[in-house]
Amino acid sequence: MEGKQIFEHPFCRQLTQSREQADANTRRRVKANDPVAMREMGMSLCDEEDFEAAIEYWTKAAGLGDIEAHYQLSDLYNDGLSVEADIKMEVYHLEEAAIGGHSIARHDLGVVELNFGRKERAAKHFIIAANLGNKESIEELMTLYTTGVVTKEDSLDC
């Protein structure tokens, strides 16, 4: 085994022997409509800066309920990478990811609400995200507490 690089692969119970084998396993899982494999394929394509292909895989994965794929799509719509920046699409994908329990997406929804001046709605998102363990949301809640938007009773929820 000397000289060969061994790769761990998320879809295998064993270590694979080569990158080619790992990629072949991912392609098999994609053909079987595995949303995690589709998300991972999208991540690889994004790393290669092939954003259009990444969008296709993430859209398929999101359609199959993958919350991380929704979150990745929200980032693309926020940044305007290979798609026109679109706050409605960004928020849609953030909401889908947040509903699935994605704490960062929930936090980001709070930031969006804060940017629109809806501090009470932002606080609700931050409380949920804080309960999911998001430290940035706890910091946002502390700021909202010092400005009087969040009360001590509200902060006890997290």
Q: Determine the Cα–Cα distance for residues 68 and 14; give it in Å rounded to an integer.
A: 25
Confidence of residue 8 (pLDDT cuts 50, 70, 90): low
What digits encode the pLDDT tens for the residues 89-100? 999 999 999 999
What digits encode the pLDDT tens for the residues 26-72? 899 999 999 999 999 999 999 999 999 999 999 999 999 999 999 99
Residue 17: what are its φ and ψ, rounded to 5°? -90, -25
Region of 61 please: left (phi>0), alpha (psi -120 to 50) or beta. alpha
Answer for the pair 73, 58: CB distance below 8 angstroms, yes or no.
Answer: yes
- How high does pLDDT run on average in the chain? 89
In this prediction, residues 130-137 reach a mean pLDDT of: 96
